[in-house]
Amino acid sequence: MEEFLSKILEKHKDKIVKVKEIVPWRVIFEVPNGRLKELAKDVFEIHGFRLSTISTLDQGFYFELLYHFVKDKYVLTLKTVISKENPRIPSLTDIIPGANWLEREVRDLFGIEFEGHVEPERIVLPPDWSLEPPLRKPIAPKLPPTYAEYLVNLISKAALASITGIVKRRRTKMGLPEVVAPVLESKKVIEEIRKISKELEIDRKVPVRK
């Protein structure tokens, strides 16, 4: 990683849970959704990056949001995860005006609400659109909220925000420890996610039932 990006990482390491280097001048910082706006503000106002675009990946029971910032030859992506049970995240429009149309497009196509958006009108779909967002993928069975929070925390932080008794019993039954220690990156955590997803039958997408 080039020195310029390394300095940003060092300054904001308390907000970043995972780092992926694509090439020395292009990196991805993964952050909890509650810290995204704070970091984006510094990247934009202090470090002089501009927001190029926002990518959205529908991963079945959660969304990945990737905010791509550019400056000269550098590309810095801020990645965060939000649950499809409650797809909401603070808007960046009050600090980055260029986020206006980008967030509205994501809202129209995926149904993600950007709280506090300065101009929350539709931009891709007609104003009277009442159907499901066109790029949002269905899954079945519906993921229970307990497991949604549990799995999203595993994915976004490799750590657990809260563990209920039923989750602890399910982990014990599957031969896993009751809790997972916080880590930055762990193949073991990824395997646990796969095992739990398969156990809950949420590891595959199915057509919408009419």
pLDDT tens track of the chain, all 210 residues?
A: 788 888 888 888 888 988 999 999 999 999 998 999 999 999 999 999 999 999 999 988 789 999 999 999 999 999 999 988 889 999 999 999 999 999 999 999 999 999 999 999 999 999 999 999 999 987 645 555 556 566 666 655 555 445 556 666 776 766 766 665 544 456 666 677 667 666 665 555 444 444
Cα distance between residue 108 and residue 130, in whole Å: 11
Considering the domain architecture, whether residues 61 and 150 belong to the same structural domain is answered as no
Terminal alpha carbon distance of the chain:
49
| Per-residue confidence (pLDDT) for residue 208, from 0 to 100 | 42
Considering the domain architecture, whether residues 70 and 16 belong to the same structural domain is answered as yes
In a domain, 161, yes or no: yes
Edge-to-edge order in the sheet of strand 50-58: 18-23, 26-30, 74-83, 62-71, 50-58
Considering the domain architecture, whether residues 187 and 87 belong to the same structural domain is answered as no
Of 96, 115, 134, the domain-final residue = 115
| Residue corresponding to tokens 């269905």 | 138
Q: Which domain holds residue 85?
A: 3-115
Q: Which two tokens stand for residue 154?
A: 């595993």
| Per-residue confidence (pLDDT) for residue 137, from 0 to 100 | 85
Considering the domain architecture, whether residues 27 and 100 belong to the same structural domain is answered as yes
| Per-residue confidence (pLDDT) for residue 155, from 0 to 100 | 57
| Per-residue confidence (pLDDT) for residue 209, from 0 to 100 | 41
Residue pair 136/57 in contact (Cβ under 8 Å)? The answer is no
